[in-house]
Amino acid sequence: MGTPVVLSSAPSMAKLFAQAAVTARGRGGSLPDTHLARVAVEVDPGQVADYAQVCRFPLADTLPPTFPHVLTFPLQVALMADRAFPLALPGLVHVRNRVDVVRPVGVGERLDLEVWADAFAPHRSGATVDLVASVRSRGDEVWRGRSTYLARGATAPGAPADVPELTIGDVSEAAVWRVPDDAGRRYAKVSGDVNPIHLSGLTAKAFGFKRAIAHGMWVKARALAALSGRLPEAFSVDVAFRKPLFLPSTVALSTGAREGGWDLAVRAQAAGTDHVLGRVRPL
């Protein structure tokens, strides 16, 4: 690993998505060994409060467990938008995400962020790659995340990755959510994730979706918010994103206590289609 490239500020994701669209053709090759970083990042309490409101977390003096993803995601997009990245960012599908909360992170802590790409491998439907993020405070890692993306029809060197399928035990319905058609725009405003597939039916159709779809990380955050006060202090939450959650929709959250944590599912209320399956376990 080389020395990380340190950025002085978060890159503009709107510009990055536009750049990625222009340079999508002709991608290929191996995975670059590039690490991007930011140091001594101060969290905006107002953004945290807005994020908590959109995702239904209670206000607290610690960050919501998924909020560090918001801090590191622009760096991940910068990696994927770069011409050296072998997969085209438009059309990448977020299929799995794991977050490890090593300890609660205070809103006032200064954080060092670092991201890189890993595990580029063939998949039965194309190729997958992991975007890895690490957050440190005073030299100690306090949070880490791993997002797996699928590029349908793409190729990658080597053998297919042997990643166990995420399965859950019995769960029972705990809540019903009516997800409005502006859920994607509201989450984009507080997270900066302005991927067009989430913003409107018109922009989603340009990428092959019949309607706008909810951000997977919003669905994950909302499910965790429903478990607020019942989560371990240090925990992992591993979720698989299954079928897209089209906007608007009515979905059911089902949960079950297990192994000191929880199993959870977000499913279409009428059809029972799995949108998100997840496992929360103590670290």
Residues in contact with 190: Cβ distance below 8 Å, sequence separation at least 6, in sequence order? 47, 50, 51, 53, 54, 70
pLDDT tens readout for residues 37-93? 999 999 999 999 999 999 999 999 999 999 999 999 999 999 999 999 999 888 788
**CATH superfamily of domain region 164-283:** Hotdog Thioesterase (3.10.129.10)
Tokens of residue 259, six digits: 């192994």
Q: Fold match between 1-163 and 164-283?
A: yes
Q: Report the pLDDT averaged over residues 190-209.
A: 89
pLDDT tens readout for residues 229-272? 999 999 999 999 999 999 999 999 999 999 999 999 999 998 99
Domain-wise residue ranges, the chain = 1-163, 164-283
Residue 14 has pLDDT above 90, yes or no: no
pLDDT tens readout for residues 135-183? 999 999 999 999 999 998 888 888 787 778 999 999 999 999 999 999 9
Q: Report the pLDDT averaged over residues 120-126.
A: 91
> Which CATH architecture is the domain 1-163 placed in?
Roll (3.10)
pLDDT band at 1 (very low <50, low <70, confident <90, very high): low
Q: Report the pLDDT averaged over residues 193-219.
A: 91
H or E, element range at 223: helix 216-225
- Whether the Cβ atoms of residue 134 and residue 154 lie closer than 8 Å to each other: no
